Amino acid sequence: MKLVVGLGNPGPRYAKTRHNVGFLVVDELARAGGFPEWREKFAGEFTKGRISLDGHAEDVVLLKPQTYMNDSGRSVQPAIAFFHVAPQGGAELLVVHDELDLPFADVRLKVGGGHAGHNGLRSIIGALGADFARVRVGIGRPPPDFRGEVADFVLQDFDPVESASIGDVVSRSVQAVRRWIAKGPLAANETNARGRKKG
């Protein structure tokens, strides 16, 4: 059993913001995989299905915490317990999140590490420890002329240029998740080689 958590904030106000790219990725995983309708549980929304990879099928749970970002661990922890998923080692739990420290459209896979100021990761690390897999979806840092705090930037909608390519970014992120489902942490080298923005 694999658990893939997409991080974001609930409600239409945040649906197209940079901070919600984790939701976009798991939504696309569910759509492309023909998963059942999302259901409410674990202070979030989840769906469970099977993803066929390399000649075999893997049971996968997708989870979108509905706690708001800062309290994501309160959703992930009961889901881990219910589905008997090992949170450590990077083989059974993957968190998809926006990453300020990567240029927009870069996609990377890693296991473990700190939260780098990301409050969703901070909450999950506080609940479970840090040794889980992450797909880091680059959103870049605010431009020099941005007026406001970093928190304002991540809670803004993607700009028109970003919006034009976010579908490709989500598709590459989905492929990174699928590689992790098939290969676990060993997928990192392949994902990171392919995950840089083209052009």
Residues annotated as catalytic (active site), given as ranges: 19
| Residues whose CB falls within 8 Å of the CB of residue 147, separated by 6 or more in sequence, listed in order | none
Closest C-alpha to 85, from 140, 124, 135: 124
Closest C-alpha to 188, from 134, 140, 137, 138: 134
Rounded to the nearest angstrom, the gap between the alpha carbon of residue 148 and the centroid of all alpha carbons in its chain is: 25
CA distance 42 to 78: 6
Please, are residues 46 and 1 in contact by the beta-carbon 8 Å criterion?
no
Q: Which strand (E) or helix (H) includes residue 60?
A: strand 56-65
Please, are residues 185 and 90 in contact by the beta-carbon 8 Å criterion?
yes
| Residues whose CB falls within 8 Å of the CB of residue 2, separated by 6 or more in sequence, listed in order | 58, 59, 60, 61, 85, 92, 93, 94, 181
